[in-house]
Amino acid sequence: MKTIIVYGTKYGCTKKCAEILTGYLEGDIDIVRIKNEKIDLEKYDNVIIGGSVYMGKIQKEIMRFCKKYKGKLMNKKVGIFISCYTSNDEEGFMESLFSKELLEHACIVTTVGGEMDYDKMNFVYRKMFQSLKKIDGFNEEFKEPELRILDIKKVAKAINKRASK
Protein backbone atom coordinates (compact mmCIF):
# COMPACT_ATOMS: atom_id res chain seq x y z
CA MET A 1 0.00 0.00 0.00
CA LYS A 2 1.42 3.37 -1.01
CA THR A 3 0.20 6.71 0.27
CA ILE A 4 1.04 10.27 -0.64
CA ILE A 5 0.32 13.19 1.67
CA VAL A 6 0.03 16.40 -0.29
CA TYR A 7 -0.09 19.48 1.90
CA GLY A 8 0.03 23.25 1.93
CA THR A 9 1.18 25.33 4.89
CA LYS A 10 2.03 28.89 5.83
CA TYR A 11 3.64 28.61 9.25
CA GLY A 12 4.33 24.86 9.42
CA CYS A 13 1.41 23.51 11.43
CA THR A 14 0.00 21.42 8.56
CA LYS A 15 3.50 20.05 7.93
CA LYS A 16 3.61 19.00 11.57
CA CYS A 17 0.20 17.29 11.19
CA ALA A 18 1.42 15.46 8.06
CA GLU A 19 4.50 14.26 9.92
CA ILE A 20 2.46 13.07 12.91
CA LEU A 21 0.11 11.30 10.49
CA THR A 22 2.96 9.30 8.93
CA GLY A 23 3.55 7.74 12.34
CA TYR A 24 0.09 6.11 12.22
CA LEU A 25 -0.11 5.14 8.54
CA GLU A 26 0.66 1.69 7.19
CA GLY A 27 2.78 1.02 4.09
CA ASP A 28 5.05 3.37 2.13
CA ILE A 29 4.43 7.08 2.55
CA ASP A 30 5.62 10.08 0.58
CA ILE A 31 5.04 13.63 1.81
CA VAL A 32 4.99 16.55 -0.59
CA ARG A 33 4.55 20.22 0.17
CA ILE A 34 2.70 21.12 -2.99
CA LYS A 35 3.56 24.20 -5.02
CA ASN A 36 2.75 23.75 -8.67
CA GLU A 37 4.70 20.63 -9.54
CA LYS A 38 3.46 17.64 -11.47
CA ILE A 39 2.72 14.63 -9.30
CA ASP A 40 2.49 11.10 -10.62
CA LEU A 41 -0.52 9.87 -8.68
CA GLU A 42 -0.56 6.57 -10.59
CA LYS A 43 1.86 4.92 -8.19
CA TYR A 44 -0.27 5.66 -5.12
CA ASP A 45 -3.27 3.80 -3.71
CA ASN A 46 -4.13 6.56 -1.25
CA VAL A 47 -3.96 10.34 -1.44
CA ILE A 48 -4.23 12.46 1.69
CA ILE A 49 -4.76 16.18 1.18
CA GLY A 50 -3.90 18.56 4.01
CA GLY A 51 -4.22 22.32 4.13
CA SER A 52 -4.78 25.26 6.42
CA VAL A 53 -7.30 28.08 6.26
CA TYR A 54 -6.69 31.82 6.06
CA MET A 55 -9.60 34.26 6.00
CA GLY A 56 -11.96 31.43 5.16
CA LYS A 57 -9.88 30.11 2.27
CA ILE A 58 -7.62 27.12 1.81
CA GLN A 59 -4.23 27.53 0.10
CA LYS A 60 -4.43 28.25 -3.62
CA GLU A 61 -1.99 25.41 -4.32
CA ILE A 62 -4.36 22.91 -2.67
CA MET A 63 -7.30 24.25 -4.68
CA ARG A 64 -5.19 23.97 -7.83
CA PHE A 65 -4.12 20.40 -6.95
CA CYS A 66 -7.72 19.27 -6.36
CA LYS A 67 -8.84 20.81 -9.63
CA LYS A 68 -5.92 19.51 -11.70
CA TYR A 69 -6.16 15.93 -10.39
CA LYS A 70 -9.94 15.84 -9.99
CA GLY A 71 -10.40 12.80 -12.27
CA LYS A 72 -7.47 10.82 -10.87
CA LEU A 73 -8.51 11.47 -7.27
CA MET A 74 -11.84 9.78 -7.95
CA ASN A 75 -9.94 6.52 -8.54
CA LYS A 76 -7.95 6.73 -5.29
CA LYS A 77 -8.78 6.40 -1.67
CA VAL A 78 -8.78 10.01 -0.49
CA GLY A 79 -8.51 11.54 2.98
CA ILE A 80 -8.75 15.26 3.77
CA PHE A 81 -7.57 17.07 6.89
CA ILE A 82 -7.59 20.77 7.66
CA SER A 83 -5.50 22.62 10.20
CA CYS A 84 -7.48 25.64 11.42
CA TYR A 85 -9.36 27.09 14.38
CA THR A 86 -12.82 26.24 13.03
CA SER A 87 -14.43 23.29 14.79
CA ASN A 88 -15.46 20.08 13.07
CA ASP A 89 -19.17 20.73 13.49
CA GLU A 90 -19.22 24.13 11.75
CA GLU A 91 -21.92 23.68 9.12
CA GLY A 92 -20.86 24.31 5.53
CA PHE A 93 -17.18 24.82 6.41
CA MET A 94 -15.72 21.95 4.37
CA GLU A 95 -18.15 22.68 1.52
CA SER A 96 -16.66 26.17 1.32
CA LEU A 97 -13.18 24.67 0.77
CA PHE A 98 -13.68 21.59 -1.44
CA SER A 99 -16.02 20.42 -4.18
CA LYS A 100 -19.07 18.39 -3.19
CA GLU A 101 -17.85 15.57 -5.42
CA LEU A 102 -14.47 15.30 -3.67
CA LEU A 103 -16.03 15.55 -0.21
CA GLU A 104 -18.45 12.75 -1.02
CA HIS A 105 -15.68 10.59 -2.44
CA ALA A 106 -13.27 11.04 0.49
CA CYS A 107 -13.28 8.30 3.15
CA ILE A 108 -12.51 10.89 5.84
CA VAL A 109 -12.83 14.67 5.99
CA THR A 110 -11.90 16.37 9.23
CA THR A 111 -10.39 19.38 10.89
CA VAL A 112 -7.51 18.54 13.23
CA GLY A 113 -7.22 21.77 15.21
CA GLY A 114 -4.31 24.08 14.61
CA GLU A 115 -1.73 26.43 16.05
CA MET A 116 -1.74 30.20 16.12
CA ASP A 117 1.94 31.08 16.27
CA TYR A 118 1.80 34.80 17.09
CA ASP A 119 5.61 35.06 17.10
CA LYS A 120 5.87 33.81 13.52
CA MET A 121 2.95 35.91 12.26
CA ASN A 122 3.66 39.14 10.46
CA PHE A 123 2.82 42.43 12.14
CA VAL A 124 -0.45 42.93 10.27
CA TYR A 125 -1.85 39.49 11.17
CA ARG A 126 -0.75 39.81 14.80
CA LYS A 127 -2.42 43.23 15.11
CA MET A 128 -5.50 41.95 13.33
CA PHE A 129 -6.01 39.15 15.85
CA GLN A 130 -5.31 41.48 18.77
CA SER A 131 -8.08 43.74 17.45
CA LEU A 132 -10.48 40.90 16.61
CA LYS A 133 -10.15 39.48 20.11
CA LYS A 134 -11.47 42.78 21.47
CA ILE A 135 -14.66 42.42 19.45
CA ASP A 136 -17.35 40.61 21.45
CA GLY A 137 -18.84 38.68 18.51
CA PHE A 138 -15.44 37.25 17.56
CA ASN A 139 -14.10 36.68 21.04
CA GLU A 140 -17.11 34.69 22.22
CA GLU A 141 -16.68 32.24 19.33
CA PHE A 142 -12.90 32.15 19.07
CA LYS A 143 -10.82 29.61 20.99
CA GLU A 144 -7.04 29.35 20.64
CA PRO A 145 -6.70 26.14 18.64
CA GLU A 146 -4.61 23.13 19.62
CA LEU A 147 -3.67 20.15 17.51
CA ARG A 148 -6.00 17.21 18.08
CA ILE A 149 -3.97 14.04 17.72
CA LEU A 150 -7.16 11.97 18.01
CA ASP A 151 -8.50 13.47 14.78
CA ILE A 152 -5.14 12.93 13.04
CA LYS A 153 -5.33 9.29 14.15
CA LYS A 154 -8.86 9.07 12.68
CA VAL A 155 -7.45 10.05 9.28
CA ALA A 156 -4.85 7.27 9.50
CA LYS A 157 -7.44 4.75 10.66
CA ALA A 158 -9.76 5.50 7.73
CA ILE A 159 -6.91 5.25 5.23
CA ASN A 160 -5.46 2.07 6.76
CA LYS A 161 -8.84 0.35 6.77
CA ARG A 162 -8.98 -2.28 4.04
CA ALA A 163 -12.07 -2.68 1.89
CA SER A 164 -14.11 -5.65 3.19
CA LYS A 165 -14.47 -8.49 0.72
Burial of 42 (0-12, 13-18, 19+ CB in 10 A): exposed
Contact between 121 and ligand FMN per CB under 6 A: yes
HSE (CB half, 13 Å, CA atoms) of 164? 1
Contact between 12 and ligand FMN per CB under 6 A: yes
5, 48 Cβ separation under 8 angstroms: yes
Question: Binder to ligand FMN among 83, 94, 98, 106 (CB under 6 A)?
Answer: 83
In the three-class reduction of DSSP (H, G, I as helix; E, B as strand; rest coil), residue 50 is classed as strand
For residues 30 to 69, the per-residue mask of contacts with ligand FMN, x marking binding by CB under 6 A and - elsewhere, is ----------------------xxxxx-------------
Least Å from the CB of residue 162 to ligand FMN: 30
Contact between 138 and ligand FMN per CB under 6 A: no
